[in-house]
Structure 1
Amino acid sequence: MSSLLSLISAFSPGGAVLRLVGGAGSCSGRLEVFHQGRWGTVCDDMWALPGAAVVCRELGCGDPLSAPRGAFFGEDRVWLDEVNCAGTEAALSDCKTRPWGDNDCTHKEDAGVVCSGNLHPSQVAQIRLVNGGPHRCAGRVEVRLDGRWGTVCDDGWDLSDVAVVCRQLGCGTAMEALSGKVFGPGNESDPVLMMDVQCQGTEAALGSCPYTDPEDLCQHDEDAGARCQGEPLRLVNSRSRCAGRVEVLHNQQWGTVCDDNWDLQDAGVVCRQLGCGTALSAPGGARFGRGSDRIWLDNVNCTGTEVALSDCRARPWGVNNCTHGEDAGVVCSAGFALPDVRLVGGPHRCAGRVEVRLDGRWGTVCDDGWGLNDVAVVCRQLDCGTAMEALSGKVFGPGNESDPVLMMDVQCQGTEAALGSCPYTDPGDICQHDEDAGARCQGDGLPGAGLWLNQTTGPKAAGPAPLWPGYGENLAGRHPLQRR
């Protein structure tokens, strides 16, 4: 027993003994707990980075790097299921969980943990795959060690090494270990930094595998490459690969994600995992259409720091109370053209007719569906403070006859960074300039922003007198959101 416990274990305040086994070091592996004289595993239902953080802290193993699922490190008896940690607990026994031994899991769902504690900072090296075309999960392997980017020699390069690369990049299963500069040679000015890499395949980072300094033994015509299966994640039903309905692959079947608790932190993880930059919005309500397959995930709750969506807390696979009318979507910044926006015809730059520039053309926005959430995004994009009113019926005058109407049925949630990241419809010939939308924001970008001038008594913060002809003529007493 002492030899088993020497692997790495801790006695928690709640009476549970923990250990990590089967990994590359003492601070990574399959999570096991000791109960009633017997070691057992933890099911990966709801298993996520906050739980791994508690384990790493309890074992004195530093910070969590990942929370692998799916029997990644091996199999044993299942003791715990649906472990739900906030990440601040002192011990795993302080987290919410089902009773001991009560589970609906197989050993194919064993949870794992990878902590930073047994890795030297240089071992958690940056890594990238270069020159693989549009697929970020294939390419020439490049690593950054001691501040320098360089390549990896293909001597001894095999699928176990690629498995670590794919894991480190959140790219799924290793498919091919490639040699002979298949993805082209590295830059002549960059060194070859590794050769004879000898990974077991379970390591958290390529730099934690044994390797040799190649010195002058390898040249760039021996640069190693890797091809991974790719993210079990995609965005569909959009003109951009970096926007769309979120779909995840589980049990070889694609399915959707329910929008319960779906927010920008969750969207941020998706964008980062897909190499799509930052999250601009996290639309729910099937904004990118309804899926037709299974609804795989519900109540996804990311902290925003996870490497992959699978590291976030969620209900067990397939367990939900949703319909496809609640399918979650994402709009990321990469490859997404954000239009210019301006307010025209108002008393200052933070009020006026909404005009956008798309594909090099300026045009207006139709007031069909125009509401305060849409105005909130315009105000944010122009640094104009709080949204005050969504105006319709060319309150600020019609747009130029030579300019088109470029958007209609704009559907912002109000949290987006730019109007162009909100779902909208091309109006074609449906809208004319007598339906041009307007916006009024609190600020005017000048000292005293947010104050309006009363025509007789000077500044006042509320109840502004109209300062331009026609203001309010077409509102007809309607609340700005009524058309939604």
Structure 2
Amino acid sequence: MRHVRTRPWSPWGLLLSLLCSSCLGSPSPATTPEDRAGSQGLRFRLAGFPRKPFEGRVEIQRAGEWGTICDDDFTLQAAHVLCRELGFTEATGWTHSAKYGPGTGRIWLDNLSCSGTEQSVTECASRGWGNSDCTHDEDAGVICKDQRLPGFSDSNVIEVEQHLQVEEVRLRPAVGRGRRPLPVTEGLVEVRLPDGWSQLCDKGWSAQNSHVVCGMLGFPSEKRVNTAFYRLLAQRQQHSFGLHGVACVGTEAHLSLCSLEFYRANDTTRCPGGAPAVVSCVPGPLYAASSGQKKHQQSKPQGETRVRLKGGAHPGEGRVEVLKASTWGTVCDRKWDLQAASVVCRELGFGSAREALSGARMGQGMGAIHLSEVRCSGQEPSLWKCPHKNITAEDCSHSHDAGVRCNLPYTGVETKIRLSGGRSRHEGRVEVQIGGPGSLRWGLICGDDWGTLEAMVACRQLGLGYANHGLQETWYWDSGNTTEVVMSGVRCTGSELSLDQCAHHSTHIACKRTGTRFTAGVICSETASDLLLHSALVQETAYIEDRPLHMLYCAAEENCLARSARSANWPYGHRRLLRFSSQIHNLGRADFRPKAGRHSWVWHECHGHYHSMDIFTHYDILTPNGTKVAEGHKASFCLEDTECQEDVSKRYECANFGEQGITVGCWDLYRHDIDCQWIDITDVKPGNYILQVVINPNFEVAESDFTNNAMKCNCKYDGHRIWVHNCHIGDAFSEEANRRFERYPGQTSNQIV
């Protein structure tokens, strides 16, 4: 046996062995079982403002130091885990980009990934404690369900901030005791504190302060005020000052984000030599309070806006779309924050942004995505003035479309309408308030001609979102003694803010059917569908077919041919058909369901399934001046999910008397080779025409947006062949591009450029 000689360890050898063991991957202290065994030693709290008690920026105390969480890869599942750590049952949402203000100190967690079932945030994957490449502008927040876990004691976990916060601001008119028109645009600035409303000391008050206050109150800008008049008036009045030293930069979305100081309870001298701060705001076009302001705004030269909101349930909210190269497109939500959202809101005539929305919260757009990584300071006059990144198709998808919710002026229109007799607050018979001071009374609306567009305005005025149904006949329980019909002949375009802005009979009430049963009613919903036709597919699949009459008996039975087909020499001869495929997407936030119940669906032997809608689309051939020369007579439709996006499952199918509809994220495809998917152009003379397809033309089913339901194409027909080009959705082009389309002189040759 060979003897092995051992050497004693030297200090340098011991150090080298420790270094080598570290190189070979020994576990770091951040991942030891003791640290991952639970949340012992960690404390959690909600911070930031403005916020409610169950929402805020998430802060974690570790090793005696408070820090935040980065929003990179943050999901609703992570929010569920954190809300349970905070003592709530679950999360209802989460926020990014420091919505509740940037935190301070360490950023404890980054790239947090949870499944949602973890008992502790320490069980979730992350980059490790304190390892982050984020800034506090990316702090994550959570919105928890306002329901506590049984037996949870919040004193051990949530630290309630004891300092005062500014949560509500208003303007109080200093003069005029009579009934003043709303919204109030000028007055003393007051903030709500725990002991009531208080004024702000005007020492050091700046235009930037006024800009922030006006933005909070729903106004895009401010104007100079006659301070000498208000100082003279202040000498005759007593005031309660609560704030002083307000210093805003002008880009803040809320007064709480400005530097300010509260008076202490024992301060005997408040605002010495000063007076209450006074602000005068300029309303946007929708809220001009007087005819003088309207005339002033109308006299300004107005260019076409390059930003718009689509798909919102309420005024001042929606998916952000921008105009580029005469085509509307969306904005990617990367780095989307309150500053960028506020620029959009003020550009559109609203106040600062109340919320910057990501993840297509207002529905997905279709077509181009024009902008990404928009970084605004908040002072830009337009979103296009902000630094941004031009985008390619691979950079972002419509599931990341950005949206906004803007601050709006208080107009009080919701106090002049109410619902009665419904099973919930979202439905009932519509009652409106009419009359002047001293003679106000409630009354009903005649149900004649009441439809979806009128119901949309009523639900908007009520603040209840979209209209599911507009009812001309109601069976609601009469909960009060309101029986008088005070409004009739109501006709709305659907864009009005209140019913009194719609056309209606002035003083004379004309109603064909009397009785409370035949008065207007509504069923409102916070979500709605939004149908959109795939215009490129129409252009790609359009062609002419000469189809023999003996193959068209079924189509004739469904009235899918022109009138002249009745006098044709059946079964000899043929009809000339313009055929094309129609792919209809639901990009809204609710499924599109037929208005009629299953008991009234009609069986069609030719197609072998039930049809749920008599009129779902119109197919028309128009002359350049809009005269109809041919139309498609598709009798009715069966609605189903033909295909869906990757993460969406089909829910509706026509076979076996199945449920019908179009799921959000799915589309219904009518191929060019099925019966009645055509326009009979046998009698159309050669020339230049417009092909028009309109979805849901009679507004039978409510949608969040009807302006994108029409599609138009230029087409040239030479008597033998047809060329279809320039197909687009009705609101996809700029106003100037639409005018060029309507003035299009037609093709002189078959070369389509």
**Interval of TM-score (by shorter of Structure 1 and Structure 2):** 0.3 to 0.5
Higher relative contact order (CA 8 A, sep 6+): 1
Which one has the largest radius of gyration?
2
TM-score, length-normalised on structure 1?
0.40
More helix by share: 2
